[in-house]
Amino acid sequence: MDVIIHKIHQLTPSIRAFELISANGSDLPAFDAGSHIDVHLKNGLTRQYSLSNCCSEQHRYVIGVLHDENSRGGSRCIHQDYREGDHLNIGTPRNLFEIHSKTQKAVLFAGGIGITPILSMAYRLKHQQIPFELHYFVRSHEMIAFYGNLTEHFPEQIHFHIQNQSETQCEMSKVLEEVAPDRHLYVCGPAGFMQFVMDSAQQAGWSDEQLHQEHFVAPQIDQSQNEAFTIEVLGSDRKIEVSAHQTATQALLEHGFDVPVSCEQGICGTCITRVVSGTPDHRDVFMTDEEHALNDQFTPCCSRAKSKILVIDLA
């Protein structure tokens, strides 16, 4: 889908908002709060960015992009190589972070750039008249993204937690101590931040069904104990060796098999592949624990195999 970068806003020293409009002037496909889009960049990479604007808007998409010092090339490209008026190719919105249908009260936690899907959720909850509170954690005041939107549209719901200016752990525990079946928690931000929030909520008595999170970056996994394994592709007599230092996707591509890739971290689910036999070593954060237990599919971009041979279906 061809869009134009209509406006670029410098939200913080390291975060920019990109307002995208259709290149042909038509409405953009509808989306739900929590959705993201694939952005296909001119350097050949594809990255996922959450939509931060209200889902009632169809004339534009707004994404927030952090210029990460440890960028693998995505955020650096969009920050340095794109200007207002440039064209972008994007995918249609997908949602892995929906507002649960039984949510009667909501607690929203955002850390840093994690405010992007949370902001869209806040717009939706307000429109649906569902009570909520939004807690935004940042290192300094200048790192608050969408400050004007937050203070103008959610003056009674927004709570800023600025490092060294608040007792974060104490305040978080107080927020989470109110547990009710119809109260749901939504969190997005750095992996360590999200894990702390989720652990704190579980210790306070929240059930897994009430807890929802969105990953931007997959947690770091120790690769030092990786072992080689063999992949067999259904319908092919070829045996593909996956060495300890490469991913299944890399091995498949080297042998001429077409495997769709996007995030390359097990976040987006683009590369999910059916497993015919063998046991995967699941390392993604896309599928649920229940889906992992079935062992009938895996993400070759990051997951490996517990068995010596994994038979997959690429049809």
The conformation of residue 51, written as its DSSP 8-state character, comes to: B
Q: Rounded to an integer, what distance in angstroms lies between the CA atom of residue 281 and that of residue 3? A: 38
Pairing of strands 183-188, 211-214: parallel
Residue 189 tokens read as 């931000």
Give the H or E element holding residue 168: helix 168-176
Q: Rounded to an integer, what distance in angstroms lies between the CA atom of residue 269 and that of residue 264? A: 9
With 80 as the cut, is the pLDDT of residue 76 above it? yes
> Pseudo-torsion of CA 138, 39, 55, 14, nearest 10°?
20
Rounded to an integer, the average pLDDT of 17-33 is 97
User: Each residue of 131-150: pLDDT tens digit?
Assistant: 999 999 999 999 999 999 99
User: Each residue of 175-205: pLDDT tens digit?
Assistant: 899 899 999 999 999 888 998 999 999 999 9
Query: Of 46 and 79, which is predicted with more confidence?
Result: 79
Burial of 156 (0-12, 13-18, 19+ CB in 10 A): exposed
Q: Are 119 and 146 in contact (CB under 8 A)?
A: yes
Residue in 182, 137, 148, 105 with CA at minimum distance from that of residue 10: 148
Residue 81: predicted pLDDT: 95
pTM higher than 0.85 for the full model?
Answer: no
How many Cβ atoms sit within 10 Å of the Cβ of residue 136?
25
Residue 164: predicted pLDDT: 63
Amino acid making up residue 173: S
Domains, the chain, ranges and CATH?
Answer: 2-95 (2.40.30.10), 105-214 (3.40.50.80), 229-313 (3.10.20.30)
Q: How confident is the model at residue 287 (pLDDT cuts 50, 70, 90)?
A: confident
Q: Rounded to an integer, what distance in angstroms lies between the CA atom of residue 188 and that of residue 201? A: 14
Query: Of 285 and 167, which is predicted with more confidence?
Result: 285
